[in-house]
Amino acid sequence: MNISNLSRKYEVREIKEEEILAVYDLCCENPQYYHYCPPEVTMESIKFDMTALPPGKEKEDKYYIGFWDKGELVAVMDLITGYPNEDTVYIGFFMMNAGLQGKGIGTQIIEELCKELGNTHKTVQLGYVRNNPQAESFWIKNNFLATGHTVKTESYEIVEMQRML
């Protein structure tokens, strides 16, 4: 996948280890996410997330990317191609710069992403933590529908959603 094609407005590139602090700062601006999806973010948890893979996937399938505007980190996204099946791309994580939320930028990023992914895949899938109204509302607004499948963890329940491309 050519990740630079995922946005016409923003520079999209894989997050480098020296940019972890920018990701950390962006994540710390979003305490509501961690209220529903503990534990709190750390530099170590970001390093782990940058390489974490679901079973059966290889590092070539993972894209831990940033959307940048003139050197400012606008959003962070974790994408896994071909998961949970070859026709699907999985969004493992998406977080916006808190100062830019509510301005349609996140929706624009998701629209451009889905348009580009539609050239090679049939669906985009993700999960959000049940009872997080901000996450649920954002994904519904962006044409994601609940699959009816949930995953329970020790701390929360994940509602799986997908969008046909």
Compute the distance between CA of residue 105 and CA of residue 121 in angstroms, rounded to an integer.
23
111 sits in the region (left: phi over 0; alpha: psi -120 to 50; else beta) called alpha
- Mean pLDDT rounded to a whole number for the chain: 96
What is the predicted pLDDT for the residue at 156? 93
Tell me the sheet residues that pair with 73.
Answer: 68
Tell me the sheet residues that pair with 129.
Answer: 158
pTM tops 0.85? yes
- For the chain, domains (ranges, CATH) are 3-122 (3.40.630.30)
In contact, 58 and 153? CB cutoff 8 Å? no
CA dihedral 50, 40, 163, 139 (to 10 degrees): -140
Mean pLDDT over residues 110-133, rounded?
96
Mean pLDDT over residues 83-90, rounded?
97
As to burial, measured by CB atoms within 10 angstroms (0-12 exposed, 13-18 middle, 19+ buried), residue 51 is: exposed
Q: Which of 148, 139, 134, 143 shows the shortest CA–CA distance to 36?
A: 134
